[in-house]
Amino acid sequence: MADVITPRSVDYAQWYVDVVRAAKLADYSPVRGCMIILPNGYALWENMRAVLDRMFKETGHENAYFPLFIPQSFLAKEAEHVEGFAKECAVVTHSRLKIDEKGQLIPDPESKLEENLIVRPTSETIIWDAFSRWIQSWRDLPILINQWANVVRWEMRTRLFLRTMEFLWQEGHTAHATREEAIEEALRILDIYTTFAEEYMAMPVIQGVKTPSERFAGAVDTYCIEALMQDGRALQAGTSHFLGQNFAKAFDCKFQNQNNELEYVWATSWGVSTRLIGALVMTHSDDQGLVLPPRLAPTQVVIIPIFRNDVEKSAVLEQAGRIERELKDAGFTVKLDARETHRPGWKFNEYEVQGVPVRVAIGPRDVEQGTVELARRDTRTKETVPQEGLAERVRTLLDDIQQNLLARARAFRDEMTTRVDTYEEFKEVLEEKGGFILAHWDGTPETEARIKEETRATIRCIPLDRDAEALGTREEGRDMLTGKPSKQRVVFAKAY
């Protein structure tokens, strides 16, 4: 695997790929657009999943599992949905292979399916078909379901984690008796995503709502969180959709309300994916490799013993082992790398590339003096500290790293957020600085489309309360392009 990491200043896109591969997060596969998630990457996903899963369950959601395959006709039932997904579907047409007369393996023509099956790009259709059988009365509501699954969207240009043909995600699907309750649910999940992004990933986000042209295919409103990557491009980190009654109508899902009237059911759906791993990499990592927030790092502390002979070895390993136990007892995930096949310097580099937040090194002199060398990955600084009280010191240090990463990312994001009032300034900032641009927009899809066409910037979102206040976007003004009146600034950026 690649071990030389291209500096960000030279080629940001190549830097990203180099970090992902050097940190052994993912590898390419022979299936175009599909990646292999390596143990380091998967362990990170497991930690993300555990946190999110707990938050979903604490808010009353239950996990379930729906079929991978969706009958082709289901996709067609919601008009916007099929328009959104028909162009990127893996279509299963046969159920057998056979050897033909030339000795070639081919799909057995006799196994051609009566109805083609689509590999799920998302599961609204198959789930609303089930809901329509499960829901009769208001007593059956709400239904709060989540699913951890793989999905497939045929993509032409793919990038490890950020855009892959197959990806892993969670997709929540809920059914409600009222419009208000469904909107509340969609916003509750947006808050969960925000908490997760900021408090666990240490990645600040803007909470917003999408413009109609950027909505999920079939949604009434798409809420989202938008993060800013180090190269000044935005990344949509999670979406939560208020689906109105669109899917209920498509699948004829009605319920008897408390007044004995039949009504269509109200819906939400929401998801985050392995794309978050790409966002994590691009938010914190540096030219030396991966940088991980302690709350998600699969290994929080690595201990590296240093010795040159058997006498030193025995003394160093004894203390290193004791430190390992102490730190594990204190609740940290710890790895003691005592391998003699690799030199300490090689290990220092390896764990730096892999983003382990804290490194403890212990050599003969430390043994004599009752000290260790404590290094932090985020600032790449180190100090010699007493072994006495090490667990408490490591706890403080991990907290500090977690906070520092968020503060650093937030400072960068703030610096890269620019208010502009003219289209000329807009284009200048977009080209020379990048980042989030807060500008007035007249609210029409035509203006939005023209700006996108001319500059490749899109409206990432219209900030919701929290960030509208923080960013001061709720002020009247005039569209920077058309001069028409505007009620608020929106967030523009070039995006992943």
**Rounded Cα gap, residues 423 and 429, in angstroms:** 10
Return the one option of Zn ion, a copy of itself, none that residue 73 interacts with (CB less than 5 to 8 A, by type).
Answer: a copy of itself
Residue 67 CB, shortest distance to a copy of itself, in Å, is 4
With CB cut-offs between 5 and 8 Å by kind, which of Zn ion, a copy of itself, none does residue 338 bind? none
What minimum distance in Å lies between the beta carbon of 255 and a copy of itself? 16
Can you tell me whether residue 280 is helix, strand or coil? helix
Decide if 310 contacts 278 (C-beta within 8 A). Answer: no
Q: What is the 3-state secondary structure (H, E, C) of 332-399?
A: CCEEECCCCCCCHHHHHHHHHHCCCCEEEEECHHHHHHCEEEEEECCCCEEEEEECCCHHHHHHHHHH
152 binds, among a copy of itself, Zn ion, none (CB under 5 to 8 A by kind): a copy of itself
**Which distant-in-sequence residues (6+ apart) come within 8 Å of 340 by Cβ?**
none
63 Ramachandran zone, left/alpha/beta (phi>0; psi -120 to 50):
beta
Give me the half-sphere count of Cα atoms (radius 13 Å) on the Cβ side of residue 53. 12
In the complex, the smallest distance separating the C-beta of residue 91 from Zn ion, rounded to whole angstroms, is: 31
- Residue 131 binds which of a copy of itself, Zn ion, none (CB < 5-8 A, kind-dependent): none
Residue 213 binding result from Zn ion, a copy of itself, none, given CB thresholds of 5 to 8 Å by partner type: none
Size of residue set near Zn ion by CB under 5 A: 5
- Partner interacting with residue 341 (select from a copy of itself, Zn ion, none; CB below 5-8 Å by kind): a copy of itself
**Binding residue (CB under 5 A) for Zn ion from 5, 224, 237, 279:** 224
Least distance between a copy of itself and beta carbon 409 (Å): 27
CA dihedral 115, 116, 120, 122 (to 10 degrees): -60
Reduce the DSSP state of residue 231 to 3 states and report it.
coil
Q: Considering the complex, what minimum distance in angstroms separates the CB of residue 427 from a copy of itself?
A: 35
Q: What's the closest the beta carbon of residue 337 comes to a copy of itself, in angstroms?
A: 15
Give whichever of 118 and 471 is closer to a copy of itself, judged by the CB atom: 118
Q: What are the residues binding a copy of itself (CB under 8 A)?
A: 27, 29-31, 34-39, 42-43, 45-46, 62-76, 82, 86-98, 105, 107, 116-119, 126, 129-130, 139, 145, 149-150, 152, 154, 166, 168, 341
72 binds, among Zn ion, a copy of itself, none (CB under 5 to 8 A by kind): a copy of itself
Residue of 120, 155, 146, 362 whose CA lies nearest to 275: 155
Closer to a copy of itself by CB, 9 or 260: give it.
260
- Beta-bridge partners for 374: 360, 383
Residue 230: count other Cβ atoms within 10 Å of its Cβ: 18
State the nearest-atom distance from the C-beta of 150 to a copy of itself, in Å: 6
For residue 397, give the nearest of 484, 332, 313 by alpha carbon. Answer: 332
At residue 381's C-alpha, the angle toward residues 415 and 47, to 5°, is 75
- Least separation, in Å, of the C-beta of 102 and a copy of itself? 13
Residue closer to a copy of itself (CB basis): 147 or 285: 147
Minimum gap (Å) between residue 257 Cβ and a copy of itself: 16
Nearer to a copy of itself, 22 or 481 (CB): 22
- b/e string for 53-83 if b means 16 or more Cβ within 10 A? eebbeeeebeeeebebbbbbebbebbeebbe
Element (H or E) spanning 185, and its range? helix 179-195
* Alpha-carbon torsion angle 73, 35, 496, 207, nearest 10: 70
Cβ nearer to a copy of itself, comparing 89 with 438: 89
**CB-nearest residue to Zn ion:** 461
Partner interacting with residue 65 (select from Zn ion, a copy of itself, none; CB below 5-8 Å by kind):
a copy of itself
CB of 127 to a copy of itself, least distance (A): 9
Q: How far apart are CA 344 and CA 334, in angstroms?
A: 17
- Is there a cis peptide before residue 7, judged by omega within 30 degrees of 0? no
| Binding-residue pattern over the window 452 to 481 for Zn ion, x denoting contact by CB under 5 A | --------xx--------------------
Contacted by 224, from Zn ion, a copy of itself, none: CB < 5 to 8 Å by type: Zn ion
| 226 belongs to the binding site for Zn ion (CB under 5 A) | yes
Task: Please give the DSSP secondary-structure letter assigned to residue 38.
Answer: -
The entry of a copy of itself, Zn ion, none that residue 168 binds, CB within 5 to 8 Å by partner kind: a copy of itself
Rounded to a whole number of angstroms, the CA Rg of the chain reads: 26
Q: Which CB sits closer to a copy of itself, 88 or 431?
A: 88
CB-CB contact of 159 with 278 (8 Å): yes
Query: Shortest distance, CB of residue 42 to a copy of itself, whole angstroms?
Result: 5
Q: Which is nearer to Zn ion, 190 or 248 (CB)?
A: 190
Using CB under 5 A, list all residues that contact Zn ion: 208, 224, 226, 460-461
